[in-house]
Amino acid sequence: MIAEIPVDLEHECNPWLAAEARFNRAADKLGLDDGMRKVLKAPAREVTVSIPVMLDDGRLEVFTGYRVQHSIARGPAKGGIRYAPDVTIDEVRALASWMTWKCAVANIPYGGGKGGVICDPTVLSMGELERITRRYTAAIVDFIGPEVDVPAPDMNTNEQTMAWIMDTYSMHHRQTVTAVVTGKPLNLGGSRGRPEATGRGCLISTLEALKKLGIGPTDARVVIQGFGNVGGMAAKLMTKVGFKVIAVIEWDGAVYNPKGLDVLALMQHRKETGSIVDFSGGENIDREEAMFLECEVLLPAAKENVLTSLNAHRVRCKILCEGANGPTTAPADDILADKGVFVLPDILANGGGVTVSYFEWVQDRQGFFWNEDLVNTRLEEIMVNSFHDVTSYSESHKVDNRTAAYMLALDRVAFAIKLRGIYA
Ligand code: NAD
């Protein structure tokens, strides 16, 4: 009898190992030589900084911050900054490489980067957060800039954080430099359409997938996990074009209506009660049960590692649209492929956010701002092109969509490195 291999979820869910598994599979398929693999894998620069901050009660505390620039081969590094108690350099490094591949799939002129500060924002005052942000920015001021590395919001950072970073950077440079970060408030150089961009990108790629599978939008039943920026916006935009959002799953419960939920009313209900539970336009159901309902589109838009080797066999969707980053582990990929699920991998599906961030940077550098229609038209063009680039690659190389997206990305970055040559 063959002994059963124990499922090591901790290993399976490690972001760096997950990134490496996808990288290796794509590099093998491309037949990349060892030297190029080494160059593509190695982060271009990693900075660790100490952030001394005076707390409100007069104590002096020292926080640790990171900024990793994984690649600058195709342009400035680009990626968010997260504040969380469990931030690690491994995680930041993995997320930075993810950004390199995402920007390459969208074919926008960026590399990839990510930053993080180890802190617990739930116990910090606004004043403390501002001082952490400004001192962190001062510590990395020589390593960021519109032509160097352009941060953006991520977990627990927002428009206000970006405004503080922009101001601190500008004070050091003795001039206002709005293009140093994206995700800024609209009246400080932000872009129209940015809050909806990731959800809109999910809608656009899902529409293309439905077309490919011969399913009409009005026949599309959607299950969404996470009703925040990405999931909420996607739900709103999807219902507008006729999809039926039959279930929404949050951390504290799930609601279901086989005829389709009234998404705007559900948003209002959550605003009033603080939860999606007990919504009069649907019934409460078990969160696990909701996740594995039969549907055309499953849209995880909450967090990473929700589909693993333990549960991927229960998925009953035709299309998996990865709104979140890393919702599927590498072993779960094979299970989904065996089931014939059409996967829109995160580095394709949620690329709408970084694409409109790119538009924000372009507008800031031009000092000329676009209306929302123009932003949305240009976003659609990029998302549709990326979808077709990935699916053509998948068909011509006979690989699944995720492997195709990684192959395309690695190929584009490797090509840039070859053209530039290795400076010595
Ligand atoms: P958000 O905080 O606005 O929304 C996340 C939602 O998920 C919240 O409503 C939260 O309550 C819910 N949630 C948390 N844990 C959950 C659980 N266990 N089950 C169900 N729901 C849960 O965050 P967001 O900006 O929408 O980001 C969601 C995901 O999308 C993240 O993985 C993020 O990295 C990724 N992403 C976001 C963007 C963007 O532009 N916002 C771009 C690319 C990728």
pTM of the model: 0.95
* Residue that has been written with the tokens 């074919």 in this structure: 107
Does 318 qualify as catalytic in the annotation? no
Residue 326 to residue 335: CA distance in whole angstroms: 16
**What's the distance, Cα to Cα, between the start and end of the chain in Å?**
56
On whether the 197-349 domain is CATH 1.10.10.60, my answer is no
pLDDT band for 2, please (50, 70, 90 cuts). Answer: very low
Q: Which two tokens stand for residue 372?
A: 């929302």
Ligand 1: distance of its center to the CA of 28 in Å? 32
Q: What was the pLDDT predicted at 7?
A: 58
pLDDT digits (tens, 9 = 90+) for 120-167: 999 999 999 999 999 999 999 999 999 999 999 999 999 999 999 999
Distances in Å between the Cα of 58 and the Cα atoms of 53, 55, 61, 83, 128 are: 10, 5, 9, 22, 11
pLDDT 10s digits, 53-73: 999 999 999 999 999 999 999
Residue 10 banded pLDDT, cuts 50, 70, 90: confident
- Residue 415 tokens read as 């090509």
Q: 325 CA distance to ligand 1 centroid (A)?
A: 9
- 140 CA from centroid of ligand 1 (Å): 27
pLDDT tens string 204-229 = 999 999 999 999 999 999 999 999 99
Distance, CA of 332 to CA of 159 (rounded, Å)? 35
**282-283-288 Cα angle (round to 5):** 120
* Residue 312, pLDDT above cutoff 80: yes
Cβ–ligand 1 distance for 250 under 6 Å, the answer yes
- As a dihedral over the C-alpha atoms of residue 68, residue 74, residue 76, residue 78, rounded to 10 degrees, the angle is -60
How many C-beta atoms surround the C-beta of residue 57 within 10 A?
6
Q: Which residues, including other chains, have CB under 8 Å from residue 68's CB and lie 6 or more apart?
A: 43, 45, 46, 47, 89, 92, 93, 96, 113, 114, 115
Q: Residues of 269-281 as b/e, b for ≥16 C-beta within 10 angstroms?
A: bbeeeeebeebee
Same fold, 43-188 and 197-349: yes
Rounded to an integer, the average pLDDT of 376-389 is 98
Ligand 1: nearest atom to the Cα of 323:
30
Reported as type and span, the H/E element at residue 68 is strand 60-71
Share of the chain above pLDDT 90, in %: 94
Residue 13 has pLDDT above 90, yes or no: no
- Domain locations in the chain as residue ranges: 43-188, 197-349
Look at the alpha carbons of 376, 382, 386, 389 in this order and tell me if their dihedral is positive or negative: positive
Q: Can you tell me the distance from the alpha carbon of 287 to that of 236, in angstroms, rounded to the nearest whole number?
A: 21
Q: State whether the beta carbon of 163 lies less than 6 angstroms from ligand 1.
A: no
Look over the chain and give the mean of its residue pLDDT values, rounded to a whole number: 96
**pLDDT value at 8 more than 60:** yes
Nearest residue to 250 via CA among 320, 302, 308: 302
Q: Which residue has the higher pLDDT, 416 or 90?
A: 416
DSSP letters spanning 1-42: -PPPPPP-HHHHT-HHHHHHHHHHHHHHHHT--HHHHHHHHS
User: Is the CB–ligand 1 distance for residue 189 below 6 Å?
Assistant: no
Q: Could you identify the atom of ligand 1 that is nearest to the CA of residue 231?
A: 26
- For the structural domain made of 43-188, what CATH number should be given? 3.40.50.10860
Q: Which helix (H) or strand (E) holds 168?
A: helix 159-173
